[in-house]
Amino acid sequence: MRESLLLALFAGSLLVHAFTGHRPAPAPTRPDTPVRPSAPVPQPAAGIQWQKIDEGLETAEIAAPQPSFLGRSKITVVRINPARYAFKLVAASQTNEMYKTAPEWCKERKLVGCVNAGQFSLKDGYSNMGYMKNYDHVNNPNFRKINNYNSILAFNRKDTGVAPLQIIDLKCRNWAQLQSRYHSFSQSISLISCNRQVVDNKQKGKWSMVLFGVDTQGNALWIFTRSPYTIRHFSEMLLALPLSLQNVMYLEGGPEASLFLESNGKKIERQGSYETGFNENDTNHQFWGLPNVIGIVRK
């Protein structure tokens, strides 16, 4: 879901030695793999069983409303209250470091957990595909204006006149007013827009995925599926679940998709695997090195 397959494979073969195995995923061109008949979509009354890990930190394992053709079809969600947890944007380019896996970043930076901060470019192996800034460090100064790159995650606010964290939908929010109110930004693909509608996405490939969402109460949601889906299909399923989603944006797919969390004796380790046109299997069980992650620490 990134560059062309040939370019991705060529550049990926170069990066594998320098950056512990990462390569951006290709723009898929292969048709959908058939999915088994759909299961009924549960209504909100069905509820979700949340497991409390700490004050302001909960997790849930949800059976996907419709099964994938591969894997367990489980959706992992971590719900984080920004009043209890601070968010950190970690960019290897800011400190001139090499790639690290999600667990390694957490250990080095003393993070409770982390996920990918977004897809990154083949050109240098460090720059986010969209705009990315963390305080005085600019990882990528350029706005990406194609492929539904209409969401910007904003956090580390400068004043209390704005939410501690939000996904700015460039289609309906005033970026000119909001860009001076936060210290940290990461731009990526819109999946669920500000009006709580699934964004039209015609990508036919399927991926393991990790996403970032914000619910109507202002909580942050890390959402992970190892079983592959098309982006649109997965977004529609999420909107049908009782998660009270306000906005959702894409972070990463395929074997790079990572979610790691360790707190109060609870450890969650999620790695992606399947990616149309690159890694069409469910055999990856290791974290890949990443240049950029978003992590959390207790306040």
pLDDT for 122-158, tens place per residue?
889 999 999 999 999 999 999 998 889 999 999 999 9
Residue range(s) defining the domain that contains residue 169: 46-298
Residues 6+ apart with CB under 8 A from 97: none
- Type and span of the H or E element at 155: strand 151-157
In angstroms, what CA-CA distances link 76 with 103, 193, 224? 17, 21, 5
103 occurs within a structural domain: yes
For the chain, percent of residues with pLDDT exceeding 70:
85
The answer to the question of residue 21 being in a domain is: no
Is 40 within a domain?
A: no
Average pLDDT for the chain: 88
Residue 31 is encoded by which pair of tokens? 């048709």
Is the pLDDT at 25 greater than 90? The verdict is no
* Inside any domain, residue 140: yes
Tokens of 47: 């509820």
Q: List pLDDT tens digits, range 86-96.
A: 999 999 999 99
Asked if the structure places residue 16 within a domain, the reply is no
- Structural domains in the chain (count): 1
Give the pLDDT score at 16. Answer: 36
Write down the pLDDT at residue 1.
Answer: 52
Determine, yes or no, domain membership for 13: no
Task: Write the CB contacts of 105 (distance below 8 Å, at least 6 apart in sequence).
Answer: 90, 111, 114, 290, 293, 295
Domain assignment present for 142: yes
Q: What is the pLDDT of residue 46?
A: 55
Chain centre to alpha carbon of residue 35:
23
| Residue 36 domain-assigned (yes or no) | no
